Structure 1
Amino acid sequence: MTARPRVAERLEQQIEALIRSDSLQPGDRLPSERDLAQRLGASRSSLREAIGRLVHRNLVEVRQTGIVVAEPVPQSWAAEAISAPLSALVAAQPAYGRDVLEVRRALEGAAAQLAAERADPVARQQILACLEAMEAHDGTSDPSEQAHLDAAFHLAIAKASNNAVLHQVMASLFDLLSTSIQQTLEKIFLVPRIADTLARQHRAIYDAIAAGDADAARAVSDTHLEFVAVSLREADEDLARKARAARMLGNT
């Protein structure tokens, strides 16, 4: 594993501390990316990853005018009541990940399509910030962190759909998505060059949304999740085959 995730986490904490120490309120602007990088002694890539982490936590927003403190999103007790037991179930029994993929295809395909139709420049910038944070983390061996950033990217798309119900449902399932994505990545990352393919697919989703092509956004989102489903099935079959071979060798 590279040191980058730890650097990004440190920068994330420093920026959060800066917001508190300066008593910044929702809508207040933070220093520019260049100023933050100099102030914190950080590279631009690590800083962007840290900003992406703060974006998905809904602590900051990336706008054309700069980085600002975000308005808090209330989490309803009903959403928590739904999400908590499902997250625990998927964590304990990874086989339910296939059910999550089916739900993801319905939700994320609609979100991508609506985001392409409705996203304003600010929303597109938010999606791009999450994508760049995820791309900055590519090539590391930390499925947990990659899953967290992956879920944040899709949540930013849901927010850009300007459908409050869709966004709230996706937000309430964030931990569930992170858990399911992590379990999937731990398996399919064993396949050579799979990370490169996933990165290209995520970039294609963003490109379609940025171009305002709703049909393409829906199509590439569906293709992405179908690829994940097929890769997961093949990984499961490979693991089962190796387990059978190991048992046979153990009995000879």
Structure 2
Amino acid sequence: MTLTGNKVYLNILKELDQIIHADQLLPGDKLPSERELAERLKVGRSSVREALRALELLDLIETRKGEGTFIQRAGGHRLAEILAGFFLRDTKARQDVTETRRIIEIEAVRLACTRANDGQLEKIRKIIEQSKQVLSKGEIPAEEDYLFHKALVESCHNRLMLNIWRPLVEYSKVALKESLAREGRAEDAIHEHTAIYEAINQNDEPLAVESLRNHLENSRF
């Protein structure tokens, strides 16, 4: 079956699940190589690599240098199929993804106001400074924007929330870059990030939540 479209790797997630069942692979077993998967699925190796990276972010697979890629012993690989199907649905499903992301980030910011340590606050500050440097070069700080939000969720010290959040935003990176490409949006986003950071640094939960809500509303993706 030949797979086409801009979101090829989402389809690959479902196909990978079928391969795991067809090959009767179990947790701890080694997956076929990128090259073999690309040949079996009739897609480019870069698309396979992107799908594998998504699975790794979900802690469903593990890449061992010099050995290959293995199914993680913890968790179930069927989750990949469920997520892939979810992301491929209609507009309502994509709205659900955005809503879920908002819920997670807002709760993460609430917790971060009391749980974030000095090291994490400094990390957030440095990411904001990196964003300014990238923007000053005329480039869109899309990766820095992603890292900022990731650092926010990390600051709440809830690993499950982070593991749920990561794939939601990972699949939205294209939309994130398009949002930041709007005239003046990247600069505004940095100001909004700064307001969120300062509120967390001051342990001002209401202001932090309000600032984040405003930022997510303006982001429009």
Question: What is the TM-score of this pair, normalised by structure 1?
Answer: 0.50
Q: Tell me: CA distance 1:225–1:174, structure 2 relative to 1, closer, same or farther (3 Å).
A: closer
The alignment yields a C-alpha RMSD, in angstroms, of 3.2
| SS of corresponding position for 1:173 | helix
Q: Does 1:129 align with 2:126?
A: yes
Give the AA of the match of 1:165.
L
Q: Does the CA contact (< 8 Å) of 2:179 and 2:185 recur in 1?
A: no
Name the CA distance, whole Å, in 2 between partners of 1:83 and 1:181: 23
The SS at the match of 1:206 is helix
Closer, same or farther: CA 119–142 of 1 in aligned 2, 3 Å: same
Instruction: Say which SS state the counterpart of residue 162 (structure 1) adopts.
Output: coil
Residue 184 of structure 1 and its aligned partner are, at CA, apart by 2.2
CA 1:86/1:139 → structure 2, altered by over 3 Å: closer, same or farther? farther
Q: Which residue, 160, 163, 171 being the options, matches 2:166? A: 171
Aligned to 2:148: 153
Which of 102, 114, 118 is the matching residue for 1:117?
Answer: 114
Would the alpha carbon gap of residues 82 and 182 (structure 1) be closer, same or farther in structure 2, given more than 3 Å must change?
farther
Give the CA deviation at 1:83.
9.4
**1:92-127 CA distances to partner (integer Å, 9 max, x unpaired)?**
x99976554323321211111211121011111121
Distance (Å, rounded) in 1 between the aligned partners of 2:160 and 2:122: 22
* Structure 1 residues 40-81: Cα deviation after superposition (integer angstroms, max 9, x where no partner): xxxxxxxxxxxxxxxxxxxxxxxxxxxxxxxxx974115982
Measured after TM superposition, the shift of residue 226 of structure 1 is 1.3
**2:84: which partner in 1?**
85
1:210 aligns with 2:201: yes
Larger proportion of helix? 1
Gaps of at least 5 residues in structure 1 are 1-72, 233-252
Report whether the alignment pairs 1:108 with 2:91: no
- Counterparts of 2:108 and 2:215 in 1: how far apart (Å)? 14
What percent of counterpart residues are identical? 23
Q: Is 1:196 the equivalent of 2:187?
A: yes
Residue-pair matches, total: 150
Change (3 A) 1:139 1:89: farther
Q: Which amino acid aligns with 2:145?
A: D
Given candidates 176, 182, 188, the residue that maps to 2:177 is 182
CA offsets, 1:126-147, max 9 Å, x none? Answer: 212222222221245544xx22
Q: Looking at both structures, which has the greater relative contact order when contacts are Cα pairs under 8 Å and sequence separation is at least 6? A: 1
Against the structure 1 CA distance between its residues 82 and 141, is the aligned structure 2 distance closer, same or farther, given a 3 Å change threshold? farther
For structure 2, which runs of at least 5 residues remain unmatched after alignment? 1-55, 61-75
Distance 1:87 1:147 in 2: 24
For 1:222, the aligned partner's letter is R
